[in-house]
Amino acid sequence: HFLFNCLNTISSLLYKDTGRAERFIRQLAKAYNHTLESRNEPVIPLTKELEFVEAYRYLLSVRFQDQVDVEVKLSDDALASVVPPMTVQLLVENAVKHNVISHEEKLYISIHQQRKGLVISNNKTKKPDRTTSFRIGLENIQNRYQLLHKRGIKVIDEVDEFAIWLPIIQS
């Protein structure tokens, strides 16, 4: 779905705003380059993962016309940690997948620290009509953290907020 949505966005931008289309393509390339570079690594620096999230955030801002807000508030200690590749990006992507995003229903995503862990949280909007979740992504993240850290992740599913707590892994 992600690639299909990006190609549709590029197609519509090409006739309206070629400069923005070019930047969109460059950010998409940056996101895929990150995927290729890190796919065989057990962990990568969190700062590298956040660069990927920033490229992805730009793609979302174009696609959803700035109706998705991603805020990162982390200490230097947290920024010096490592994460399994694509963990944070996948959690941001899940927030987009499981919420309706519109001018009336903005999506707010926060990446912050809490009790020796990273928290990726989002407000809940209406659920999209046709979203099926097999929870494979969360299960994959849980398994990778158990192998790397012997501690699992925590899922916090409240009425108006969804959050994942990840233990901080020092490099």
Is 68 or 30 the better-scoring residue by pLDDT?
68
pLDDT tens-digit series, residues 47-58: 999 999 999 999
* Dihedral Cα 153, 156, 157, 160, nearest 10 deg: -140
Average pLDDT over residues 125-131: 83
Is 33 or 88 the better-scoring residue by pLDDT?
88
Whether the full predicted model's pTM is greater than 0.95, yes or no, is no
- Full 3-state SS string of 5-45: HHHHHHHHHHHHCHHHHHHHHHHHHHHHHHHHHHCCCCCEE
pLDDT tens-digit series, residues 61-112: 999 988 999 999 999 999 999 999 999 999 999 999 999 999 999 999 999 9
Residue type, 4: F
Identify the band that residue 45 occupies on the pLDDT scale cut at 50, 70 and 90. very high
Cβ partners under 8 Å of residue 113, min gap 6: 73, 74, 75, 78, 119, 168
**How much is the pLDDT for 131?**
65
Q: Are 68 and 101 a contacting pair, CB within 8 Å? A: yes
Q: Are 112 and 88 a contacting pair, CB within 8 Å? A: no
Reading the block at residue 10, the tokens are 């590029």
Reading the block at residue 12, the tokens are 């519509």
**How much is the pLDDT for 162?**
97
